Amino acid sequence: MKVEELIMLYFLSIEPNAKLVLMVIGICCILPILVIGLILLGKIIYKHRINMRKLREMEKNGDIVKEKKAKKTKTSNVNYLAFFGGDNNIVSISKNLSRVSVEVKDVKLVDFDALKNEGIGVMVTRNTIKCSSQAFADQISDK
């Protein structure tokens, strides 16, 4: 006899009660696992869509601006703080290695083109301008 014929004879020879037990095991164990898997997959897709929608809204409202890379130029004694709308517009300044965060009252007064021309990488988040420039960071530490 071939293997296929042996398998068919085995399944045909199973008692009706054993078939019922196999069906109950399948329904009670395998089916819930499949249902739970589908529910989890649906939740993951739903959360991803919500997060993407929130991200698009934040970009649209201007809460998130992608970091702009600028060409580097050599600078000596440039008053970087003037690019932020003057002393009256600056709320606070914090420094972390070569990154400087400047919180301003009005973002519209900040001269982003001048910052980019000085070779400073700029990232804007609401009223905080984060700058990546060693020269700017050195000037902050001198004061």
The 10s digit of each residue's pLDDT in 50-61 is: 999 988 888 888
d(CA 129, CA 89): 12
Higher-confidence residue of 100 and 41: namely: 41
What are the tens digits of pLDDT across the range 61-120? 876 656 555 555 554 566 777 888 888 888 988 888 878 888 999 888 888 888 888 888
The pLDDT tens digits of the residues spanning 20-33 come to 777 788 788 888 88
Comparing CA positions, the residue from 136, 86, 92 lying closest to residue 110 is: 86
pTM (predicted TM-score): 0.43
Backbone angle region of 66, left / alpha / beta, with phi > 0 → left and psi within -120 to 50 → alpha: beta
